[in-house]
Every structure is written in C-alpha cells, then in structure tokens.
Structure 1
Amino acid sequence: MKKALLALLLVNAVPALAENAPAQPTLYTGTIMVENRQPTINNKTEFSRSKRESFCWLVQNTDTSTAPNINETFVSPQATEFEISVSQRFQQLKTTTSADKTQHSIQYVLNTPNLQPYNCWTFTPSDPIGEYRFTLKVNNFVFPEQTFQVTP
C-alpha cells in the first residue's frame, strides 16, 4: 500500500480564491482542477482509488517570501505506507511512521518561494479504504484537522 506524491506546477496558484480571502492563513483541500490554464481547488472530501484521484491542499495568505517549513500528518484507517517521490521542491525531507503504520508525518522545507504552498497525494488500489485524518502545519501555523474518505 503506497501513495505517490504528485508534484504539480502551479504558476498562478488559485487566483480566484485570493480575491476574497481573509488575512489569516487559509487551508483549502480537495482536487486541483485546471480549466483554461487556471488552477482551482474544489472542496471534495471523497477520493477514489480506482480513479487515482488526488487529495490536494493549498494554503493562501501565508508569507511566501521564504521557503516554508511544512509538516503533513496523516492518520489512516489501517496500516499502510507512504511513498514519496523525491523532488527538488522538497528540502530536508524527513518522514516518521508509527509502529502500527497508521500515523504518518512528513516534514520538509518547500522549495517554492513566492508561490502559495500546496501538495497532492494519489491513492492506489492497495491503499486502505475508509476515513483519513489530515493535519497541516505551515511554519508555526497549525490548521484544524481535516477528514476525507478514500473509496474503492
């Protein structure tokens, strides 16, 4: 059971969301869609393994002048492993997994200054179905826990 990390190139990361966004950092989750060369993120909370749908997150209203420190934590419904594709986007990559292989922490410095922080994960047919919990920390800001479903 593995998840492949997707490295998406978002040159103009979700400009439609920035127009009315509050000053406080805001987390958006779902699937990133690109229409007319403009990326947007929906609020989808269910992701199909068979369709290889990606769970994505994007943060607006955070300091992008320096590369942010990121900590992603996932709690899976059953034991699984996370597979991370090495990319120049990730520096100082460190992963930890609980003994029962249900809690996974991925820490890194995101080497994309001047872009809004984002990341995506794809679920494969070998990944457990059910409810996942996700927590994100960007620099010193911890966002509320998010939940989503992985379906067959």
Structure 2
Amino acid sequence: MNFYAILAATLVSLVVGFVWYNPKIFGTIWMNETGMTEEKAKQGNMVKIFGLTIIYSFLISFMLSGMVIHQVGAVQLVGGDETNASLMEFLKDKGDAFRSFQHGALHGCMVGLLFVLPITAINGLFDQKSWKLILVTGGYWVVTLTIMGAIICGWK
C-alpha cells in the first residue's frame, strides 16, 4: 500500500466534486433538488466542510486500498506474517498481478455501483428525495471511487 497514492486519492473527492457540482454539470440540479441557494451555501463553515471532507476522504481511500489491492488479502491469509516464506515466494511470483490503474478503476467502480449507490439510494428513498438527487449523488460517488481505485491500485 502506497501512502502517497492514498493521499492523492484523498484529494479526488474534492477535485471531482468541484467539477461534478459545477452549475454547468450537475450543480444546478443538486441545488434545485436540495433547496440549496448560493446565499445559503456561502453561510457554511468552509474550513469545517473541507477539513472534514479531507479527513473522511482519507478514511475512504485507506479502506478502499484493501478492496482494490488483492495482495493485502494474501498477507491476511497468513495472519499478517510477512516473514512467511511461502507468502514471500507467492508475492515475488505474483506481486504485481492485478496492480494496474485499470484494475483499480474496475474495483473502485464496483464498490461505487454495488455498495455506495445502493446505500445512497436507500437513504434517499427514506428521506423522500428525488431520483434526480439520488442519481447525482450516487453518480458522484461511482466516479470518485473509480478514480480513487485507479490511483490506489495503479500507483506503485
């Protein structure tokens, strides 16, 4: 697991958010569906919002690494014993297998589509939110997790 990849992936949520929620993309839909106004948005504590977003995005990136880098599972199989000779031989032989940007993007997308989107949809249904809002929010997370997964898995 590469710490710099996790840090880079952490910033993805902000970068994608700046683009995704731009009024020319989905920002206007999001504002209309949530009842947000520009005046109300300006009243938010931006230090708190962006600070917590970075902390939460770091936690997501950290956990996502175990889902997109399969070598983590190999180490777990031997109880974390990195001195295990068979593990070391396995990692020497297969160490970079499935360590690519494409593979990470695939698994990040799967986490977004099959885990986060359903959670977002369930919350939206109980909160009686519109399908537009559910899809804008869920779509943001699918794109964000896809890019995060690509960075985490492909950056060696």
**Fold match (TM-score > 0.5):** no
Structure showing greater Rg? 2
Structure with the bigger percentage of strand: 1
The TM-score normalised by the length of structure 1 is 0.26
Q: Which has the higher contact order (CA 8 A, sep 6+)?
A: 2
